[in-house]
């Protein structure tokens, strides 16, 4: 039981949602503090019928803290985590900086909660696009062992933070004001206007023509499922959707899974909601999945090109299960089991 809790990055897009979810899920605590950068110090945040004043993120802020839930840019996590680890019992970190360190568990509670027991003061929460895909892959992997995945992501602008959604609004307005014409307009986050557009690059260029976001889908999937032999061919695309990531997934398994069996496995899986009735136009969309904690799966069908292969579509709220929900679920598991 951890009595003193701190939320780092409490004023950011994900941090604000973490604060909200701690209240909604009635997370147990005796003392709570909110930490952020200097520009947010002094801001007052309503919390559980009272108010908490935001304090500056600095090493001494952790002196009386047991549990940290953090959502910050990678560079901030790189700097604050080593000092925080000297002072607190455990940190749940949303950033990408520590995920692939061998001694840091990378955890989705529905998939590999017991890896939390291996922690040495730090637990990482995966990338949002990885999280929803692996939650969906888990029941298939347990039943027939996943060997290869081809995934294309259709990622919402909120995945790039508040500035991403501002780009969506401003560039969409520019299109409409120009009479439905493409116009060049200033962008805070994206290399091109995202309104009425798709951008096939998320993250920086890495080896063999893949981006950093795409390689997260490969390396994080292998680490979470504990199988370095799984092959993943990813393509990450930013689309003009405010919230919820969508993914088209083709998965090859060691033995055949029929469509009927796949539906059965998805329906019984933790954290998965099945929406798969094409005849009645029932399938997941961001419209249906916004502000929900589950991963929604539909459009399940056989791959026409390979005998042991299935195709499906999945959608999840990238700010909730892809970020805040997963981090809070890890913290809940710690409270209940350690």
Report which of 291, 296, 267, 328 is spatially closest to residue 107, judged by C-alpha positions.
328
Residue 290 annotated in active site: no
3-state SS class at 35 = strand
Beta bridge partners of 46: 51
Classify the phi-psi angles of 48: left when phi > 0, otherwise alpha if psi is within -120 to 50, otherwise beta.
Answer: left
* Among the listed residues 169, 214, 212, 161, the one whose alpha carbon sits nearest the alpha carbon of residue 194: 169
E-strand stretches of 280-325:
295-302, 309-316
**Has 198 been annotated as catalytic?**
no
Give me the residues paired with residue 153 across strands: 236, 247
CA 322 vs. chain centroid, Å, equals 2
Residues in the chain: 338
Instruction: Specify the residue for token string 């605590």.
Output: 29
The token duo for 309 is 């292969």
Catalytic option among 128, 244, 289, 314? 128
With tokens 């590999």, the residue in question is 112
Buried b (16+ CB within 10 A) or exposed e, 245-270: bbbebbbbbeeebeeeebbebbeebe
Catalytic residue from among 119, 141, 244, 245 = 245
Lateral strand order in the sheet of 272-274: 231-238, 146-155, 245-253, 309-316, 295-302, 272-274
Residue ranges of alpha helices (H) inside the chain are: 13-24, 74-85, 109-112, 128-144, 162-177, 212-225, 259-268, 286-289, 325-337
Burial class (CB in 10 A: 0-12, 13-18, 19+), 291: exposed
Q: Which residues are catalytic?
A: 128, 245
């Amino acid at each position: 039981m951890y009595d003193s809790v701190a939320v780092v990055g409490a004023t950011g897009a994900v941090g604000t949602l973490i604060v909200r979810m701690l209240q909604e899920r009635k997370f147990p605590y005796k003392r709570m503090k909110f930490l952020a950068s200097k520009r947010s110090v002094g801001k007052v945040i309503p919390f559980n019928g009272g108010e908490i004043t935001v304090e500056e993120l600095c090493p001494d802020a952790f002196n009386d803290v047991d549990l940290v839930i953090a959502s910050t840019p990678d560079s901030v996590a790189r700097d604050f985590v080593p000092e925080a680890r000297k002072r607190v019992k455990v940190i749940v970190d949303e950033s990408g900086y520590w995920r692939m360190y061998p001694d840091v568990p990378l955890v989705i509670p529905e998939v590999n909660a017991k890896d939390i027991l291996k922690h040495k003061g730090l637990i990482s929460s995966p990338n949002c696009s990885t999280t929803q895909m692996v939650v969906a892959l888990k029941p298939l992997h347990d039943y027939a062992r996943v060997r290869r995945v081809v995934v294309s992501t259709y990622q919402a602008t909120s995945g790039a933070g508040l500035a991403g959604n501002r780009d969506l609004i401003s560039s969409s307005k520019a299109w409409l004001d120009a009479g439905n014409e493409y116009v060049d307009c200033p962008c805070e986050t994206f290399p091109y206007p995202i309104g009425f557009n798709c951008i096939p690059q998320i993250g920086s260029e890495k080896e063999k023509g893949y981006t950093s976001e795409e390689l997260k889908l490969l390396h994080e999937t292998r680490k979470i499922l504990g199988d370095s032999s799984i092959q993943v061919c990813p393509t990450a695309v930013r689309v003009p959707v405010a919230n919820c990531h969508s993914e088209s997934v083709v998965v090859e398994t060691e033995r055949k899974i029929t469509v009927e069996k796949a539906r059965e496995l998805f329906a019984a899986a933790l954290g998965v909601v099945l929406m798969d009735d094409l005849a009645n136009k029932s399938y997941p969309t961001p419209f249906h999945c916004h502000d929900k904690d589950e991963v929604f799966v539909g459009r399940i069908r056989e791959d026409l090109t390979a005998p042991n292969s299935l195709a499906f579509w999945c959608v999840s709220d990238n700010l909730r299960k892809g970020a805040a929900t997963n981090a809070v679920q890890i913290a809940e598991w710690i409270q209940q089991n350690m």
